[in-house]
Amino acid sequence: MSHGARVIRTGVSSGGPVAPPPVTVASSSAGSDSELMDGGYFRSCAGMLKVAQMISLLIGFISVNSSWWTDYSAYSFFQIVTMCDLVMILFFYIMHIFRVYRRLTCVSWPLAEFLHYLIGTILLLIGSIVAAAKSYNITGLVTGATFGFLATILCVISMWSSYKVSCITQST
């Protein structure tokens, strides 16, 4: 009873001696599987983009939180959205640094990150528009709305690059 064809690779062929396999040197940015942290992700474009998003969200939150404002619902929504986005981006950043996605294969991490960016970007754009409309030229509120728009643009870039990578890996 045969269960399918098997291919057995040997180092010797019938054509004569075979040269030793080429030595490959692993890239220092990729790291090996035995390492706990991925040091190359700190310097990668996606890693630096996540750090820029977290910094802009934190500045936007702090500037709105430290300002005097009268429209409680608009700015509390902005604060909630910025903190939720910040926590989720930090979660995905830590997940990439510690390579959690390699151990938890039951979750489609690119899809989860794409959906996070999609929903978070829409909510952040709404919050930034409302914060800008209700700022009444108060400097801290205008600054918070500006950094909210900057974080929105950075999230769109991350979402686009995540979608582009997902499409390329699926088509090949």
Q: What are the domain boundaries of the chain? A: 70-170
pLDDT, tens digit only, all 172 positions of the chain: 555 555 555 544 455 555 555 554 444 444 455 577 888 888 899 999 999 999 999 999 999 999 887 778 889 999 999 999 999 999 999 999 998 888 888 989 888 998 999 999 999 999 999 999 988 888 999 999 999 999 999 999 988 887 776 566 655 5
Q: Which two tokens stand for residue 68?
A: 């005097």
Do residues 56 and 151 make contact, with C-beta atoms less than 8 angstroms apart? yes
Would you say the C-alpha torsion 27, 40, 109, 53 has a positive or negative sign? negative
Residue 50 and residue 22 in contact, taking contact as beta carbons nearer than 8 Å? no
- Residue pair 143/63 in contact (Cβ under 8 Å)? The answer is yes
Give, as one character, the DSSP assignment of residue 13.
Answer: B
Rounded to 10 degrees, the C-alpha dihedral 57/61/63/64 comes to 130
**Closest alpha carbon to 66 in 143, 150, 146:** 143
